[in-house]
Amino acid sequence: MVALQERFTQIRTFIFDVDGVLTDGSVGLLASGERFRTVFIRDTYAIERALKAGFRVGIVSSANADGIRSWLAAMNVKDVFMGGPSDQKENAYLGYIARDGLNEADILYMGDDIPDLTILSRAAVFSTCPADAVDDVQAVCDYISPMVGGRGAVRDVIEQVLRAQGKW
């Protein structure tokens, strides 16, 4: 547990997938054909706290949802990479860290499914997942949240990092 706590103290950037992490993975379908997702208000609060504490928060997702984009913009999450093919997530991630000169050892990434594996498997990244992530993802993660996607997993990792750094 000491090593885990030490790892929490190193984090400067959070990067999250959307479906299955920020949401529970469900997509609601309206008669108009419009699709919608829901987010957990406690996860929202934690993201706001992280941003106010000076952490970077980024999104890397193949989801292309205007509602999620609007929600992220309202919270001032500026590093949003959404809408590419799921097999290109690592390219978006690598482009983000190269663009901003980020150190992978300072990054906590949370994903839940097979398209996240290439990022979660990178040696320097602090890889995390929700409790309901697929088995292949859980097998490579440094930390598995006791909370499920879209229901507190994001809050869990942010709160633990901020607490470890005396910023909660």
Consecutive 10-residue runs of the chain (168 residues): their mean pLDDT? 87 97 91 88 97 97 88 95 86 95 98 97 97 98 98 98 97
Identify the pLDDT of residue 2.
Answer: 63
Tokens of 54: 């000076």
Residues 6+ apart with CB under 8 A from 104: 97, 122, 124, 125
Annotated binding residue 43: no
Domains of the chain, each with CATH number or no CATH: 4-165 (3.40.50.1000)
Measured between alpha carbons, how far apart are the two ends of the chain, in Å?
19
Q: What is d(CA 55, CA 11) in angstroms, rounded to the nearest whole number?
A: 8
Q: What is d(CA 41, CA 43) in angstroms, rounded to the nearest whole number?
A: 5
Nearest CA to 22 out of 42, 51, 50 is that of 42
Identify the pLDDT of residue 75.
Answer: 95
Annotated binding residue 106: no
Phi and psi, residue 94, nearest 5°:
-65, -35
Element (H, E) at 36: strand 35-36
Annotated binding residue 17: yes
Identify the pLDDT of residue 31.
Answer: 92
Cα torsion at 46, 149, 80, 125 (round to 10°)? 90
Half-sphere exposure of 27 (CA within 13 A, CB side): 11
Element (H, E) at 155: helix 153-164
